[in-house]
Amino acid sequence: MKDLGIVQSTVKPSEVDIKDTKVFIASDIKEVKEEGTDGQPGFEGYSYNLKEYDKDEYIKSLQDKNAELEDETTQVQVALTEVYEMIGG
């Protein structure tokens, strides 16, 4: 993963942009309106954090997140079962 930092664009980015071999993740998307100065034009567009993943790396990160969610779901189910048993279900 490469953290490309804060970038600006005149076009609103997609939160997830999937290309042939890369995936770009835009976060903290904010509309920007900067006033111009003498000799410098203003800027109207978007500012956002941009990260670049190799496609395989991105798929692996999704698999890891899914595994974590499955584990958390199992833990919640066990806890709910214990609560249900405690209240006499």
Give 27-48 pLDDT, tens digit per residue: 999 999 988 888 888 899 999 9
Please give the model's pTM, rounded to 2 decimal places: 0.73
Instruction: Using pLDDT thresholds of 50, 70 and 90, give the confidence band for residue 6.
Output: very high
Distance CA 59, CA 19 (A): 13
Torsion, Cα of 70, 76, 82, 84 (10° steps): -110
Distant-in-sequence, close-in-space partners of 36: CB < 8 Å, separation ≥ 6: 42
Q: pLDDT per residue over 43-77, tens digit each?
A: 999 999 999 999 999 999 999 999 999 999 999 99
Instruction: Using pLDDT thresholds of 50, 70 and 90, give the confidence band for residue 89.
Output: low
Cross-strand pairs, 6: 49
